[in-house]
Chain A
């Protein structure tokens, strides 16, 4: 066909530039909240000093220690976990062709919670401590994390196996996820019924997702998994656009829909499993950040994936900051705040409709 007489329309360029501006705005917001998240807490450090300390120009050793040892890993964990959950969510919504899909649709959070419960109740990793700051602690966090991760991957493996046999249809994946979710929740209840008070408290506290658990030694794993996952999803943005247009359209465009679905689901599951195992269950981010960005940049995955990643980072940073000041001196787990902050913003965006 000879179709070379076309040009690139100006109005289309302008339309794309508007999307780019939303994403740049998100990046600026993310930076502001990043500094704010480090600045706010029991010891308030002015934002300017935070920046100085991050650049190793600060004159205060105390502030340096707070910034580098406590708050920076926590803020980085918020960015990485927010990004990971949001991109896993946006991919799952496309893969499962389901607007209420999230990283946890396939039962990964329940599986993680069950794994943690097994480690605490059966393997004895939980104890009660008598400090005010953290009344309940898990005495062997590595064991709990490992077992939680193993159960997340078992859930993923079961869904992958069933999807593989049944041809990777979104319905089969979603329904298997619902079944596994119920199964693992029942398992958690069963274990809780036979646990003592300390174990019960440890199990429940584990499920409250909290970026405060993050330490420097956890971060490399999270950064590598989420970073690689983000690159993978961005590389597949055209395939997800094609699947969004319908399976048959996608196949007609040469996309191996079954392979893209199974691979995407595996990547999303590994990202979610790592975050759940290390930080606990942080809901809402993966479900709602993609939808927030849909209202601003539309459904085009070229902009939706990076936009959602940034929205996830911003939401988790903001929630973590508020979690530290809302009932100071107590610090809430961030999972409590994500929905508190995110839901009103989301409802506002739903009311306002799409950005033109």
Chain B
């Protein structure tokens, strides 16, 4: 597997305060990476630095031998899709809301290929029935799918997702993460998502980054997710066990008898 995206020595400051420093990691094609850490540690900031919604002070984000931070915002949007935590609704059909994702590719107006790509993504995500529903009448889960579909029609190489499952019920969480997992594998792209639920991360991500005090605390595969790492990062003792072949994290110290 080749490295697709490599982040090197990324530093972000808000006013004169260091928020992120010496952030470095890489991700391979077809992989999902989970960015983990407690609230306020800079996970969302990190995502926004990767597609230059926020401007990092130092560092590079290399995607296929190009430094994203040197590109024009439209050029970045043609390579990186972003799904923020909060999306606004309006009197728009799901089809039009997703069509907006073609913005970085649209010249004066949409061409039939744009519409065909939107249609293909609706089919891919099994959302054909929602095409002409108004997004201001949708449930949280449906809206999240629309936001993901919008990022997919950008035809990105990398997908950035900011807590894609916050505010969703269990079934929708699994649906959304399964969808992301499949799309990433089928299309040979990569996804970087911030998450709070360690159990979901263990089930759906290939690689894990724990952020602590604005730095990468540890970065690696499933093996690095241990009770001691989690206690270091979150300050909470946990137990990790297996249930039906799936690793689970449960808060609380091991009871020793």
List chain A positions with a Cβ less than 8 A from chain B. Answer: 1-9, 11-12, 15, 97, 235, 238-239, 241-242, 244-246, 248-249, 251-256, 294, 298-300, 354
A3 near B153: Cβ-Cβ < 8 Å: yes
Bound together, the chains give a CA A295 to CA B115 distance in angstroms of 25
Q: Which of A6, A7, A245, A256 has a CB less than 8 Å from the CB of B87?
A: A245
Cβ distance B173 to chain A, nearest Cβ, rounded Å: 21
Bound together, the chains give a CA A255 to CA B103 distance in angstroms of 9
Bound together, the chains give a CA A254 to CA B123 distance in angstroms of 26
Question: For residue A255, which residues in chain B have a CB less than 8 angstroms away from its CB?
Answer: 73, 103
The answer to whether residues A3 and B103 also contact, given A9-B119, A244-B88 and a CB cut-off of 8 A, is: no
Question: For residue A241, which residues in chain B have a CB less than 8 angstroms away from its CB?
Answer: 92, 96, 100, 103
A9 near B131: Cβ-Cβ < 8 Å: yes
CB under 8 Å from chain A, chain B span 104-148:
104, 106, 108, 112-113, 115-124, 131-132, 134, 147
A-B contact pairs, 20 of them (CB 8 A): A3-B124, A7-B119, A8-B115, A8-B116, A9-B95, A9-B131, A15-B93, A97-B88, A235-B108, A238-B103, A241-B92, A241-B103, A244-B88, A252-B80, A252-B81, A252-B160, A253-B100, A253-B101, A254-B75, A254-B76
Bound together, the chains give a CA A247 to CA B115 distance in angstroms of 24
Question: For residue A4, which residues in chain B have a CB less than 8 angstroms away from its CB?
Answer: 113, 116-117, 120
Bound together, the chains give a CA A235 to CA B108 distance in angstroms of 7
Q: Which of A7, A249, A251, A298 has a CB less than 8 Å from the CB of B91?
A: A298
B151 near A12: Cβ-Cβ < 8 Å: no
Is residue B78 contacting chain A, with contact meaning CB distance below 8 A? yes
Is residue B208 contacting chain A, with contact meaning CB distance below 8 A? no
Bound together, the chains give a CA A235 to CA B85 distance in angstroms of 29
Is residue B176 contacting chain A, with contact meaning CB distance below 8 A? no
A6 near B100: Cβ-Cβ < 8 Å: no
Is residue B189 contacting chain A, with contact meaning CB distance below 8 A? yes
Bound together, the chains give a CA A241 to CA B152 distance in angstroms of 18
A1 near B77: Cβ-Cβ < 8 Å: no
Cβ distance A184 to chain B, nearest Cβ, rounded Å: 32
The answer to whether residues A248 and B82 also contact, given A12-B115, A15-B132 and a CB cut-off of 8 A, is: yes
Most chain A Cβ neighbours within 10 Å, of B80, B87, B100: B100
Is residue B194 contacting chain A, with contact meaning CB distance below 8 A? no
CB under 8 Å from chain A, chain B span 170-218:
187, 189
Known: A1-B189, A8-B115, A245-B150. 5 other contacts (CB 8 A): A1-B155, A3-B153, A7-B116, A245-B87, A298-B91
The answer to whether residues A253 and B84 also contact, given A6-B116, A8-B119, A300-B92 and a CB cut-off of 8 A, is: no
Question: For residue A9, which residues in chain B have a CB less than 8 angstroms away from its CB?
Answer: 95, 115, 119, 131
Question: For residue A299, which residues in chain B have a CB less than 8 angstroms away from its CB?
Answer: 90-92
Bound together, the chains give a CA A300 to CA B132 distance in angstroms of 13
Question: For residue B113, which residues in chain A have a CB less than 8 angstroms away from its CB?
Answer: 4
Question: For residue A242, which residues in chain B have a CB less than 8 angstroms away from its CB?
Answer: 100, 103
The answer to whether residues A249 and B153 also contact, given A2-B187, A238-B100, A299-B90 and a CB cut-off of 8 A, is: no
Bound together, the chains give a CA A15 to CA B116 distance in angstroms of 16
A3 near B87: Cβ-Cβ < 8 Å: no
Q: Which of A248, A254, A294, A298 has a CB less than 8 Å from the CB of B103?
A: A254
Is residue B86 contacting chain A, with contact meaning CB distance below 8 A? yes
Is residue B97 contacting chain A, with contact meaning CB distance below 8 A? yes
A254 near B187: Cβ-Cβ < 8 Å: no
Bound together, the chains give a CA A164 to CA B32 distance in angstroms of 39
B152 near A1: Cβ-Cβ < 8 Å: yes
Question: For residue A15, which residues in chain B have a CB less than 8 angstroms away from its CB?
Answer: 93, 95, 132
B156 near A1: Cβ-Cβ < 8 Å: yes
Cβ distance B129 to chain A, nearest Cβ, rounded Å: 11
B187 near A1: Cβ-Cβ < 8 Å: yes
B104 near A253: Cβ-Cβ < 8 Å: yes
Cβ distance B76 to chain A, nearest Cβ, rounded Å: 6
Q: Mark B208-246, 1 if CB is under 8 A from A, else 0.
A: 000000000000000000000000000000000000000
Shortest Cβ distance from B86 into A: residue = A246
A254 near B74: Cβ-Cβ < 8 Å: yes
Question: For residue A238, which residues in chain B have a CB less than 8 angstroms away from its CB?
Answer: 100, 103, 106
Cβ distance B137 to chain A, nearest Cβ, rounded Å: 10
